[in-house]
Structure 1
Amino acid sequence: MSASSATERQGSSALITSLVAAALFMENLDGSIIATALPQMAQSFHIRPVELSIGITSYLLTLAVFIPISGWIADRVGVRTVFATALAIFTGASMLCGMTDNLVEFTGARILQGIGGAMMVPVGRLAVLRVTPKENLMRAISIITWPGLIAPVLGPPLGGFITTYSSWRWIFYLNVPLGLLGIVLAWRFINTEREADCRPFDALGFVLTGVAGTCVMYAMEAIGRVGTSWHSSLLFLAIGLAACVAAWFHLQRSAHPMIDLSAFRIKTFMVSICGGSLFRISIGAVPFLLPLMFQVGFGMNPFQSGLLTLAVFAGNLSTKLVTTQILRRFGFRTVLVFNGAFAAVTLASMSLLRPSTASGWILFALFVSGVARSLQFTAINTLGFADVPKQQMSGASTLSSTLGQMTMGMGVAAGAIALRIAAWWHGHDGQSLTPSDFSIAFVLVAVFSVIAIADVFSLSPDAGNHVTGHRRKGAG
């Protein structure tokens, strides 16, 4: 009976992991696929393409506000109910996005979609963490981190193809059948488990984290936008940072905090969040910078640009076949240090690409970069939950998802800021970007990856070995 029960539990865990990965892929894809459709959408709405940035920004700001509350709702209502409801909201909002005829309607639909996405990400991860034994954690985390790596790469070519050969509306309609299937499977296989002793709602914590996330995200996005006043952007940044500090002190002292910060006392989680956030910022800038460089700097069309970025996807895919073996052979600390340095070098190497560079060399550079970033991304995400006990999974998942989504979004802003700095360095206003501007931008965002490595040195050599199965020479 025990063998049968273990097999059944393992099968259920694998199915839930696959379901959550598919849902997160849909959510991540939606954030990147829209970029190549902006000109056609602007034409439909009779506005300039730049005005549609509010549709992207509103989605990211909604995530920043509502992700922190997701853990509390999941504890009170149950993971299955929240995840299925989040899928329903996201699917319905996708349908509305495709049906909109003006910018106001589209922005409203994107905000609604952001609410669904905010609940889907951390609660989906929590559903996986609760059913996955520690010995299978590396494989599960590897699967659910795929969407964050693959979707931004597949988004541009897929969006370019749909926009070129059909209508931008189908970008959103494609979510509907996938979402409906996900709802049915979630209701069938995810547990109804909820916390027996649910904490009260932390209204002040919700307001402070919401203000902090919104202001910081908006300020960074505004700083990277050409023509935006530095004064207003810095004011929002100051308000956001002040709210961050206030939220930190409140969450530390509150008996029932909106976000449980106790996981920060766990060294592996702390390193995953701090160093990992810097790495995510550099990684988040790539899907923004690459298509722009290929289209604006090299003169390619959207579809050609998107096809080239598929080399990054190929690198991601090939690494997944050996990630477990690499971590088992060398351990977290060694992999994160050496591969982190390699990932930074591959990112900086993008600065050497020119319009005259042979396609073969471009594909090779992108493939190698995909290999390095996939291994680093999986390792740092798995490390974060290696030592987190079951009773802290909800708070740790919410905290990780909140900062993970924000830093990936900040990556886009960091890429835009890097381009603005490059334009200033070359003495122009950034309205007409050159290949040299992108060279400087890639070097600047690579610096984040280099700084991220410093945090890894504080790990013990055997950190997370019970998850990877790595045994040091001379040990036991």
Structure 2
Amino acid sequence: MLTSGSGKTVPMIIGCALFMELIDATAVLTALPQMALDFGEPSVRMNLVVSLYLLAVALFVPVSGWAADRYGPRRVFVSAIVLFTLASVACAASTSLLQLSLARMAQGAAGAMMVPVGQVILLRWSVRENLLRAMSYLTIPALIGPVLGPPLGGLLVTLLSWHWIFLINVPIGILGVVLVLRYVPDYPGARGRPLDVIGLLLSGMALGGLVFGFEAFGHGLLERRWALLLMIVGVLSAWLYVIHAKRCAQPLIDLSLLRIPTFGISFWGGNLLRIGSASQPFLLVLLFQLCFGLNPLQAGLLSFAGGAGAFLMKLLAVRIVSRFGFRRTLTGNALLTGLTIIACATFDIATPYWVIALVLFGSGIIRSLQFSTLGALTYADVPAELSSRASSLSAMTIQLTMSLSVGLAAAMLSLIMSVRGHTAVGETDVAGVMIVGGLVCAVSAVVFRRLTLAAGSAVYVGRD
């Protein structure tokens, strides 16, 4: 069993498990029309397959940290992979929208446990000075999964059938369980921390209402008034949870972690950065398919240049942060992230594909560095005994801000089209939203400037 805390095996195993979950979450989007045809359902109703998955993720993310503490992170991680694999089989075997929706909710619950618990394992396994290098393995799946998923789904649907989007998870899941049991240390659980039931209900309602509300608002899944009502319920529940957490000795989501300077700055700056950048894949799909007339496979292959850049940055992140430190890296890179997003706003139908691929490649490099660095700094000063709580809080807000980003981008796009009197999405409409997103990313640099020059220096002592 590998327990040194400085190798690559454990981070790669966890990264591959997360990659499976992210690929599946996005690949299904291209299969919805074929599913609707097979089930004899209207295409608009197939949005339930996506929305219920996100709802399940939102409901189960808050409890992931408690489960990891109570039963041990490896046991929970293996159970999540097994559940995800079985749910994938159930998805492939579904013969109705109801069956598929229930199976997707099970998948979402499993996925909600995989991401934060995988981080907990990595935090406990990695020695402190190699944390930046280890966390970079989790950044690559997060950047590549949403890009690779749609073209892979389109390829499988075209050559085989939509069932294979789920069936490919079976061998990956089996191999993942074997590798986790073989290489990942079995950290024991502790039975002293009771489950905060009230906190679970309030946080579930808050996250579920906000995530589902933003998703419904951004993609037109519900009438605007119902989507807004869900958001209001989410905000009210979040406010009640904050009051509850202050009075509870061991709250489910520990907001006192925000008092740790590096965690708090990473939390606020990182969430602002994600609000500005997480909608970029969504906007690029609209630009390439609706404005440029590319098919899903062509658009996906063009966007994949960003994933190639993410791989390259994995090899350089530690050296860059070691040279400039967290403060300079995050501050300067936040500005560069904003500039690369704004650069995408200059694309038009006459832009050569090699120019688009080059810009997206550079954007992938910059975003990979930013999120690898953020991932390490977030946990740099968090005590080991609080790592599971920190991971839950981080995963919960990441899920929320990514949904918020897409919802706001879609609403802004709709507003721009309405003001301009456009009935179809145009290049300049998408460009306007991208420019705003780039400016929001750039503003996050102000938050990162609050870091000290020596902040987080203990997590990048190791060299590649």
> TM-score scaled by structure 2?
0.95
Deviation of the 1:73 alpha carbon: 1.4
1:418 equivalent in structure 2: 412
Measured against aligned partners, the alpha-carbon deviations of 1:242-283 in whole angstroms (never above 9, x if no partner) come to 111111121222012112223211111111111101212333
2:265 equivalent in structure 1: 271
Deviation of the 1:434 alpha carbon: 1.8
1:19 maps to 2:13 = yes
Q: Secondary structure at the match of 2:195?
A: coil
1:446 equivalent in structure 2: 438
The answer to whether the 8 Å contact 1:418/1:444 transfers is no
Superposition pairs of residues 130-209 of structure 1, within 5 angstroms: 130-209=124-203
Deviation of the 1:388 alpha carbon: 0.9
The answer to whether the 8 Å contact 2:276/2:440 transfers is yes
Deviation of the 1:90 alpha carbon: 0.3
1:302 maps to 2:296 = yes
The answer to whether the 8 Å contact 2:5/2:127 transfers is no
Deviation of the 1:437 alpha carbon: 1.7
- Residues 65 and 227 of structure 1: is their aligned pair in 2 closer, same or farther, counting only changes over 3 Å? closer
- Residues 364 and 425 of structure 1: is their aligned pair in 2 closer, same or farther, counting only changes over 3 Å? farther
Q: Secondary structure at the match of 1:9?
A: coil
1:230 equivalent in structure 2: 224
1:459 maps to 2:462 = no
Deviation of the 1:13 alpha carbon: 5.8
Deviation of the 1:197 alpha carbon: 4.9
Q: 4+ runs of 1 displaced by more than 4 Å?
A: none
The answer to whether the 8 Å contact 1:28/1:147 transfers is yes
Distance 1:377 1:216 in 2: 23
Distance 2:78 2:6 in 1: 17
Which amino acid is the alignment partner of residue 336 of structure 1?
A: L
2:56 equivalent in structure 1: 62
The answer to whether the 8 Å contact 2:72/2:190 transfers is no
The answer to whether the 8 Å contact 1:132/1:140 transfers is yes
Deviation of the 1:46 alpha carbon: 2.3
Deviation of the 1:357 alpha carbon: 1.3
Superposition pairs of residues 48-87 of structure 1, within 5 angstroms: 48-87=42-81
The answer to whether the 8 Å contact 1:13/1:128 transfers is no
1:434 maps to 2:439 = no
The answer to whether the 8 Å contact 1:74/1:194 transfers is no
Distance 2:182 2:458 in 1: 32
- Residues 357 and 404 of structure 1: is their aligned pair in 2 closer, same or farther, counting only changes over 3 Å? same
1:388 maps to 2:378 = no
Deviation of the 1:11 alpha carbon: 6.7
Deviation of the 1:445 alpha carbon: 2.2
Q: Secondary structure at the match of 1:10?
A: coil
The answer to whether the 8 Å contact 1:297/1:433 transfers is yes
Distance 1:8 1:361 in 2: 44
The answer to whether the 8 Å contact 1:418/1:445 transfers is no
Which amino acid is the alignment partner of residue 251 of structure 2?
A: P
2:113 equivalent in structure 1: 119
Aligned CA-pair RMSD? 1.9
Distance 2:408 2:17 in 1: 27
1:33 maps to 2:27 = yes
- Residues 48 and 419 of structure 1: is their aligned pair in 2 closer, same or farther, counting only changes over 3 Å? farther
Deviation of the 1:227 alpha carbon: 8.3
Distance 2:8 2:461 in 1: 20
Deviation of the 1:289 alpha carbon: 1.5
Measured against aligned partners, the alpha-carbon deviations of 1:308-332 in whole angstroms (never above 9, x if no partner) come to 0111112112222211111111011
Match for 2:354 among 356, 360, 364?
A: 360
The answer to whether the 8 Å contact 1:275/1:456 transfers is yes
Deviation of the 1:443 alpha carbon: 1.6
Measured against aligned partners, the alpha-carbon deviations of 1:96-142 in whole angstroms (never above 9, x if no partner) come to 11122222111111101011111111111111111111011011111
Q: Secondary structure at the match of 1:110?
A: helix
The answer to whether the 8 Å contact 1:67/1:119 transfers is yes
Distance 2:222 2:400 in 1: 21
Distance 2:159 2:370 in 1: 36
Distance 2:133 2:221 in 1: 46
Measured against aligned partners, the alpha-carbon deviations of 1:376-411 in whole angstroms (never above 9, x if no partner) come to 111111110111111111111111111122222333
Deviation of the 1:198 alpha carbon: 2.3
The answer to whether the 8 Å contact 1:97/1:106 transfers is yes
Q: Which 10-residue stretch deviates more, 408-417 or 54-63?
A: 408-417
The answer to whether the 8 Å contact 2:345/2:431 transfers is yes
Distance 1:366 1:14 in 2: 27
Superposition pairs of residues 238-277 of structure 1, within 5 angstroms: 238-277=232-271
The answer to whether the 8 Å contact 2:85/2:170 transfers is yes
Superposition pairs of residues 293-332 of structure 1, within 5 angstroms: 293-332=287-326
Distance 2:236 2:277 in 1: 27
The answer to whether the 8 Å contact 2:211/2:403 transfers is yes
Measured against aligned partners, the alpha-carbon deviations of 1:171-225 in whole angstroms (never above 9, x if no partner) come to 1100011101111222333333234352111110000000000111122122223
